[in-house]
């Protein structure tokens, strides 16, 4: 059993058994640590207090993994190593965004490792897109925010052709951002594997964890739609019929006050046929995530959620706020993308797995939106959908797709959409779930733990009947799925 002196987000996320032990390393009380019973080795990292006074924040690179966090400089790390028992050597260089070596990871002769950053802080910075607020990216983000607010104020008065011209011009600026990479950013998954490798090195046996998907599923395939205007409401059956023919069900997110009325018969039909209904803001005018506006609109948003029996939310144009989304009162949100440099609010949480934003389950969009793919970027077909979905299948992720019945006039959209569904229709490893089911599972998994009984690990808690156990550091290592 592992013991840790501080919260370790990776243990919570993977549901790895551990105990919180308020133990202070006598020689260095400014280091947190993870130890294993019966082992002298440890994984060490600076306390929050030490990082607050001696670390530089920003985008960094270890091996090939980009990460954002506060990093102790090389001189401070060498001073720490000199105060630690044993013989230490630097094994990995940490570089800044310009490629300059600024720090390193150290290993001792007893197998201990010393990190110059807090792994939990790094994970949180991915999920909350905090890298946008640090370094050169912060200036770009401020300029983009001003341009975005100006665009949404002017948009009602702009012809469609002018809107698209502005979006394409803006996308040329957005594509210059070095992080996150597009269309695939593996940073979170790679960072997990990097740190878990160090953790597994502390144990003399494989480390158990609860797999990310229930039963025998190794990945998830989730379909969602946003219905923005009257034309989308009128055409929703065209996408719905494709899904019914191919054996799928999806979630439909409606805008209550944007030129169409969501009829009770439509809601009943969707539910009767196994679909889900969600809320897509209130007006789709780019202002729902402004704090003062949200305070006025939230009562109406909540009223529609109750009226429609909706537990999921997606912000219009995926404009989002990590501070405001948890205050909406929904079971889950799906406004973040794993990587989305071309969306009105560029960025990405860099993960293809669900995670928690306080008490809200976040289901990131992991396949590029139809409008972006076909209209903004001009791709002729959905090949990039297929390639990304295959990668997510192979890496045990969640392929969450967002398409719009508003954009069915885009060439090959329906054909490309059908092709993706047909590709995985017979894939029994895929969990073809509604977003609300993924959210409910994620909560059950998060409320469950592992217990060793007579030498065997068992899942204890609400996910006990459906969760599966996997191991890190097994003789034939399996990826976390």
* pLDDT attached to residue 40: 83
187 and 256 both lie in a single domain:
no
Neighbours of 257 (CB within 10 A): 15
410-429 pLDDT per residue, tens: 889 999 999 999 999 999 99
- Taking residues 448-468, report their average pLDDT: 96
Is residue 214 assigned to a domain?
no
> Same structural domain for residues 125 and 159?
no
Kindly state whether residue 478 falls inside one of the protein's structural domains.
no
Q: Identify the residue with better confidence: 128 or 375.
A: 128
Task: Summarize pLDDT for 180-191 with one digit per residue, the tens.
Answer: 999 999 999 999
With CA atoms as reference, report the closest residue to 386 among 432, 420, 415. Answer: 420
What is the per-residue pLDDT for 271?
97
Based on the fold, state whether residues 11 and 55 are members of the same structural domain.
Answer: yes
Give 214-244 pLDDT, tens digit per residue.
999 999 999 999 999 999 999 999 999 999 9
User: Are residues 287 and 234 part of one domain?
Assistant: yes
Contact 345, 289 (CB under 8 A): no
Per-residue pLDDT, 411: 84
pLDDT for the residue 251: 98
Whether residue 466 is contained in a domain is answered as no
For range 251-256, the mean pLDDT: 98
Looking at residue 74, its pLDDT comes to: 95
Given a cut of 90, whether residue 328 has pLDDT beyond it is: yes
- Same structural domain, 36 and 151: no
Do 45 and 140 lie in one domain? The reply is: no
User: What pLDDT was estimated at residue 343?
Assistant: 87
In this structure, the answer to whether residues 265 and 350 fall within a common structural domain is yes
Whether 480 is covered by a domain: the verdict is no
Provide the pLDDT for residue 60: 94
Confidence of residue 162 (pLDDT cuts 50, 70, 90): low
Confidence of residue 376 (pLDDT cuts 50, 70, 90): confident
Would you call 83 exposed, middle or buried from its count of C-beta atoms within 10 A (0-12, 13-18, 19+)? exposed
Whether 339 is in a domain gets the answer yes
CATH of the domain at 337: 3.20.20.370
Residue 375 lies in a domain: yes
Does 337 map to a domain? yes
Give 1's pLDDT tier (boundaries 50, 70, 90).
confident
Averaged confidence pLDDT in the chain: 90
The model's pLDDT over 13-72, given as tens digits with 9 standing for 90+, comes to 999 999 987 655 556 788 999 998 778 899 999 999 999 987 888 899 999 999 999 999
Question: Tens digit of pLDDT for each residue in 271-295?
Answer: 999 999 999 999 998 888 889 999 9
Pairing verdict, β 219-227 and 251-254? parallel
Kindly state whether residues 275 and 328 are assigned to the same domain: yes
The terminus-to-terminus CA distance of the chain in angstroms comes to: 22
Q: Are residues 11 and 31 located together in one domain of the fold?
A: yes
Whether residue 367 is predicted with pLDDT greater than 50 in this model: the reply is: yes
Judge if 203 and 239 occupy the same domain: no
Q: What is the pLDDT of residue 204?
A: 84
Contact 117, 70 (CB under 8 A): yes
Least confident of 176-185, 298-307, 447-456: 176-185
* Same domain flag for 223 and 340: yes
Q: Into how many domains does the chain fold?
A: 3
The rounded distance, in Å, linking the Cα atoms of 58 and 67 is 8
Structural domain span for residue 146: 135-174
Q: Chain centroid to CA 357: how far? A: 10
Same domain for 193 and 242: no
Neighbours of 215 (CB within 10 A): 10
Residue 116 lies in a domain: yes
What pLDDT band is residue 476 in, cutting at 50, 70 and 90?
A: very low
Residue 225 dihedral angles phi and psi, to the nearest 5°? -135, 145
């Amino acid at each position: 059993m592992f013991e840790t002196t501080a919260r370790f987000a990776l243990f919570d996320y993977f549901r790895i058994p551990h105990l919180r032990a308020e133990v202070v390393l006598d020689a260095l009380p400014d280091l947190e640590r993870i130890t294993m019973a019966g082992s002298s080795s440890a994984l060490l990292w600076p306390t929050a207090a030490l990082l607050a006074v001696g670390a530089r924040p920003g985008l960094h690179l270890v091996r090939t993994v980009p990460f954002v966090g506060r990093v102790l400089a090389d001189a401070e790390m060498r001073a720490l190593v000199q105060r630690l028992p044993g013989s230490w050597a630097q094994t990995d260089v940490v570089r800044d965004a310009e490629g300059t070596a600024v720090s390193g990871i150290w290993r001792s002769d007893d197998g201990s490792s010393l990190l110059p950053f807090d792994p939990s802080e790094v994970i949180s910075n991915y999920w909350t897109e905090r890298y946008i607020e640090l370094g050169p990216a912060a200036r770009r983000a401020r300029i983009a925010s001003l341009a975005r607010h100006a665009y949404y104020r002017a948009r009602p008065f702009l012809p469609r052709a002018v809107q698209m011209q502005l979006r394409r011009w803006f996308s040329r600026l957005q594509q210059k951002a070095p992080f996150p990479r597009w269309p695939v950013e593996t940073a979170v998954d790679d960072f997990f594997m990097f740190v878990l490798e160090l953790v597994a090195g502390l144990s003399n046996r494989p480390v158990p964890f609860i797999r990310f998907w229930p039963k025998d599923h190794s990945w998830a395939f989730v379909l969602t739609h946003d219905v923005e205007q009257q034309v989308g409401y009128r055409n929703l059956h065209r996408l719905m019929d494709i899904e019914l023919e191919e054996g799928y069900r999806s979630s439909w997110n409606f805008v209550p006050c944007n030129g169409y009325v969501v009829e009770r018969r439509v809601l009943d039909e969707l539910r009767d046929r196994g679909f889900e209904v969600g809320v897509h803001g209130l007006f789709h005018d780019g202002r729902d995530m402004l704090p003062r506006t949200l305070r006025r609109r939230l009562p109406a948003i909540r009223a529609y959620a109750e009226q429609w029996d909706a537990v999921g939310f997606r912000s219009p144009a995926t404009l989002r706020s990590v501070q405001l989304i948890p205050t909406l009162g929904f079971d889950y949100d799906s406004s973040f993308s794993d990587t989305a440099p071309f969306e009105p609010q560029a960025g990405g949480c860099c993960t293809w797995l669900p995670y928690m934003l306080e008490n809200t389950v976040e289901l990131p969009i992991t396949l590029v939106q139809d409008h972006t793919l076909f209209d903004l970027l001009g791709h002729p077909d959905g090949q990039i959908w297929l390639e990304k979905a295959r990668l997510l299948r192979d890496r045990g992720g969640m392929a969450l797709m967002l398409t719009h019945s508003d954009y069915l006039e885009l060439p090959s959209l329906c054909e490309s959409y059908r092709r993706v569904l047909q590709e995985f229709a017979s894939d029994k490893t895929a969990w073809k779930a509604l977003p609300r089911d993924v959210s409910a599972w994620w909560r059950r998994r998060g409320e469950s733990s592992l217990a060793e009984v007579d030498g065997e690990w068992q899942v204890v808690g609400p996910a006990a009947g459906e969760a599966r156990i996997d191991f890190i550091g097994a003789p034939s290592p399996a990826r976390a799925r």
